[in-house]
Amino acid sequence: MIHKIWTVSACLTAGILLALCYPGFNCGALVWVWMLPLFAALWLPKPGISRRKRLFRGFVLGYLAGLSFFLINLSWLHHIHFAAATLLPAFLALYFGAWGAFAGSTGRPEFAHSPVNSSLGNSRATLIRPALQSCYVALLNGGAWCGLEWLRGWVLSGFGWNGLGVALHENLILIQLADIVGVTGLAFLIVFCSSVSAAVILRICRELRRGRLRAHLDFAIAVSLVCGAFFYGTLKLSNPPGESIEVRVLLVQGGVAQDEKWDAGNAKAIYDKYRKMTLRYTTLADFDLVIWPESSLPFSLNDKFNEIYLNELLSTKDFELVLGINENVIDEGVFNSIVALRGNVSTPRTYRKIHLVPFGEFVPFRDTLPFLDKIASSEIGIDFDRGKIAEPILMEKPQPYSIIPLVCFEDTFGNLARRFVRNSPQLIVNVTNDGWFGHSAASAQHLANAMFRCIELRRPMARAANTGITCLVDSCGSLYDRWAEDQGGKRQVMDPSTGNTFIEESLPELISVPVNPPRTLYAKVGDTFSISLGLLSLIAAFRGLCRLKP
């Protein structure tokens, strides 16, 4: 009974420690220790337990760790519905459970279940073999995690939110490796080092009982990997900027409350707000680009009132307006879109959102499962249609470049964003509405996920939110102008006295768009690193299953 209580407590503690690494708490250093209690619980079961039982036991313990993590990490979902804040974590914890089953069986080193007082001998082989085995299982454990995290990003539409690599969001140096392996690949470094650390601690405890400490080559290898990532990140951050296009941009954060956004009685006030918040700056200075957030205007682009309203606004000054707005197109459908306009609305350049949010923008299986339609119909009257074309939008001011358009949480999908990459000057533009989740950690978590697109693709980002965090991010994932002489401050909408980001404000800034941006390895091959490692671990798991006795 005491052993069961200890193992369950260790797994719940692991999940809590991981949750503390993300925005809302930002205790990022815990990412290097959170797995240690989980490994202890997975690797130290009662003596004599069969491999089949270790699989089941590992799944349960991993699931408990995942459940405690997601219940805390996604607690802001209660702003939508209590069921969302419980059912989604219960589902996502299955991935932790699958990894726990793997790490507790195939990913468990042999010396973890050898007798404590067994002799290791003095030969060189007995010194090297445990270290090599430790590195081998660490490789498999890291690969299994990367593979499962990649899987989580596309199964059932995908929800890769707050993968393990995102926990490093405040460590600007280490996360530069994402331009090679992607944010899912960053998880490998964490899991590999944690697995090795757990194995070393286990071996040291046994060596202390025997009174004979030994060298640990596997720990040196893990430290070398971290040092290599640190060195790579330092090189990337020290590269001076090359030739660039200086775009004068105005980001508008309307701060419209979610319960007011779709109330027809508030439509006039919303139109007046965006006009005033834009003209307040454009009448005083010249801007190349003005960005409004997702679904910024109450009516669709095709509405006659919108045509008059936007033509009047665009006639006041020569700038390009990029806004999130709905489209209702006869014989085509209803789309959540980004539209670029200049001069008037006669020649819109449009991107229609490709990755829709289940139960946010459409109801899955609405026609085949009527009960789902009944549950969601009060919130989602009609389904949005899915866009099919992933083409950047060409811009003209101050000189030709293009934008990578991402709507809402599309900025959390690296494999989608890389489809827009071209060998030309590019700026990522994300329009979003985080008003659904109130003044919670959701907005900061959203930004922490989005900034990795800048690193993976080496393109800067301009981000306009209805409420939450409106900001500029450079191609290294930094909100600071690191090359400014005065070092500047964070380039985001924020009350300077309170630090509050949930305000109505516009952000006039200058953003540098590289003329010759690199085409990163991640942009070329995507999540191949994570997929390959996941397949390697899957093969090892099948081999282990074949050895199970009936």
SS3 350: strand
Per 3-state DSSP, the chain is made up of helix, strand and coil in percentages (nearest 5) of: 50, 15, 35
Residue 385 CA: distances (Å) to CA of 21, 356, 388, 541: 36, 8, 10, 40
- How many angstroms separate the CA atoms of 440 and 444, rounded? 8
Residue 124 has pLDDT above 70, yes or no: no
Q: Are 359 and 380 in contact (CB under 8 A)?
A: yes
pLDDT at 120 (0 to 100): 45
Identify the band that residue 121 occupies on the pLDDT scale cut at 50, 70 and 90: very low
- State pLDDT tens for residues 357-402: 876 677 665 565 565 555 555 555 577 889 999 999 999 999 999 9
| Distance, C-alpha 295 to centroid of its chain | 22
Domain termination site, one of 332, 367, 388: 388
Band (pLDDT 50/70/90 cuts) for residue 88 is very high
Same domain, 207 and 280: no
Cβ(445)–Cβ(478) below 8 Å: no
In a domain, 541, yes or no: yes
Higher pLDDT, 142 or 213: 142
> Mean pLDDT across the stretch 500-508?
94
71 and 203, same structural domain? yes
Q: How many domains does the chain have?
A: 3
Q: Which domain holds residue 223?
A: 2-239+529-546
The answer to the question of residue 286 being in a domain is yes
Chain center to CA of 218: 30
Confidence of residue 81 (pLDDT cuts 50, 70, 90): confident
The pLDDT assigned to 550 comes to 45
User: What CATH number did the domain enclosing 309 receive?
Assistant: 3.60.110.10
Q: Which of 160, 164, 169 is nearest to 413 (CA)?
A: 160
Same domain, 54 and 164: yes
The answer to whether residues 204 and 325 belong to one domain is no
pLDDT of residue 257: 85
| Structural domain contains residue 536 | yes
pLDDT interval class at 119 (50, 70, 90): very low
Under 8 Å between Cβ of 12 and 68:
yes
CA dihedral 415, 418, 419, 425 (to 10 degrees): 170
Cis ω before 398 (30° cut-off from 0): yes
Spatial neighbors of 169 by CB under 8 A, at least 6 apart, are 22, 23, 28, 175, 448, 451, 452, 477
522 lies in some domain: no
Beta strands per DSSP E along 456-550: 461-465, 471-473, 505-514
Same domain, 284 and 366: no
pLDDT of 373 reads 55
Same domain, 494 and 379: no
On the question of pLDDT at 517 being above 80, the answer is: yes
225 and 371 part of one domain: no
Average pLDDT along the chain: 90
Eight-state DSSP code of residue 108: S
On whether both 462 and 486 belong to a single domain, the answer is yes
Across 131-159, average pLDDT: 94
Phi-psi region of 359 (alpha: psi -120 to 50; beta: other; left: phi over 0): left
The region of weakest confidence among 71-85, 297-311, 403-417, 511-525 is: 71-85
CA 266 to chain centre: 33
Q: Determine the average pLDDT of the residues in 212-220.
A: 87
d(CA 428, CA 462): 6
Domain match, 290 and 367 both? no
Q: Decide: 549 and 166 in contact? Cβ < 8 Å.
A: no
Task: Give the pLDDT confidence score for residue 412 in this predicted structure.
Answer: 95
Assess whether pLDDT exceeds 90 at residue 197. yes
Percentage of the chain modeled with pLDDT above 70: 91
